[in-house]
Structure 1
Amino acid sequence: MTSAAGTQGLRIAVLDDYQGVAHEFADWSRLEAAGAEVKAFRNHLGQDDDAVVDALAPFDVVVAMRERTPLTAARIERLPNLKLIVSTGRRNASINLKTTAARGIPVCGTGYLPSPAAEHTWALIHAATRHLDAELGGGGSGWTHDGGWQTTVGRGLEGRRLGLLGLGNLGSRAARVGLAFGMDVVAWSQNLTDEHAAEVGVQRVEKEELFATADILSIHLVLSKRSRGLVGAPELALMKPDAILVNTSRGPIIDEATLVEALNAGQIGCAALDVYDVEPLAADHPLRTAPRTVLTPHIGYVTYEQYEVFYRDAVEDIEAWAAGNPVRIMELPPK
């Protein structure tokens, strides 16, 4: 481990700095003045293990932006110089913590603001209900403004049913906004109780009722073995033909191929998505040309305020580890 004397000679990789702003939101010069080299990668390193390993092989420290570049067991094992991983946020399911623990590599997290993702949920809902053109690419939504004047008719929110798949921190925030709009808000998750739902001011319903009766169904679950693929063909078949499905959580919670089929068949009214199975979303991905979609490129958490927390804490994590006192260490989840 690096001595407490400083970061002399450390090579630090900052991954997936898509906007080229990492150095604007934190004082990396503190590390550089102590002898570290900081390199920010603006371009995604891709899905190929060899390409990722070749790019990261020289680095002692990797700063990951959320799950943009997974650090799997196979990749970590091939990075002999790796001594520290910093991940923005409080958890990162794409980092193999068993492998890092076996290698003695600390994984440190950062603070996280829940408000940006909850706010983006409502940006997607408004885009879908009022037919705003928020497409990521392609021209297949059928709702794209074509240069005419008032070519669509939107839908209001008051009196309609908002179904929440998950009523944790983010789901509760979404619920309060729905209630403020005068919506009928219901929720379901595997562990949700009537008492907790009542505390938020909403009604707990069974899963089947949630999907069958929601005008807008918004997902707010953590990706896990239980939630992966939770929204599949049976659930989509229950939904109203004009219902809107919103996902700002994690892509694999929805069976993506089945969703594409449902959209092409006109089975649901709209999918408003910020997250996908594989990111960045491929240029030829069928979602880009599927009808009735509102797509954004996983920007729910991308705000000035969030980046200030992420990058500031990342610098602090590296300094604390270099001094022999690592902070915000991510632990393996309980079995």
Structure 2
Amino acid sequence: MNDLMKNKNYVIEQIGNILVDQTRPMKERFRALFTLKNIGGETSIHCIERCFDDPSVLLKHECAYCLGQMGDSFAVPKLESILKNTAEDPIVRHEAGEALAAIGKESSLEILQNYIDDPCVEVSETCQLAVQKMKHNTFMESKVSRNPYYSVDPAPPYPLDQYSTTELESILLDENRSLYDRYRAMFSLRNMESNSAALSLAKGLDCGSALYRHEIAYILGQMQKENTVQQLAKLLCDETQHEMVRHECAEALGSIATEECMEILARYLTDERTVVRESCEVALDMCDYENNKEFQYANALLKISS
């Protein structure tokens, strides 16, 4: 058993070496990251944490996202240090705050409360949502509103048996409502999984803060509805949009993965914004993941040693 564990840890560390190797294409490093996320455990977390010294804002943002989705409190100290680091890019700090709420360790609540008035609005709004989520009793919502995407979300959905698509759209687009309420409507619409719910969500791309629009784009990527391609493409092409919005639209288009999506993404591989062009590179690579022998070999070894 010890030999098997050593073999597994060796494979994990080799994947971790790919993640931190700045000479490798971004698409390969993303494959390494999500392989580590799916494996889980302290060795994988340690490998991901090494990547926070990287110059790529996009990659560090995705590292924080993955640590949150893994739900392991072993990652909390690192995520808290990133949130506290005001010299770090706001996109990375925002994701660290969201990840802390996803893990849900009670001790993180005080730290999140310290940043609800952060000068950076994306960080401030994220921490406000995180505090509300951690204080909110989500037990009943989780029982009556199934999440078909198995993600850990910034806010619980409303019970679907109590709201229509029209009512949820009204909450979603009402800028007089709290951001938390609008996020709840957002995830409720996503859980409906319908084309009409996706179109309601897409209307949210034309309003709200950058954080709000970026979350809408993320959800549309989860839903993978072709009837939202034009709305996502519009924001990706709009250079006045915050880069966190454009990046999330690119990744959503990569998830939908039609030929039209690929053509749109290819146009922005040389975008002036590093986060945007790296997102387009990664998005275009999504369909190639299963054909990468290097990662198939690593996954095969992990199955043998688990």
TM norm structure 2: 0.32
Higher helix share: 2
> Which of the pair has more CA radius of gyration?
1
Q: TM-score, normalised by structure 1?
A: 0.30
Which of structures 1 and 2 has the larger relative contact order (alpha carbons within 8 angstroms, sep 6+)? 1
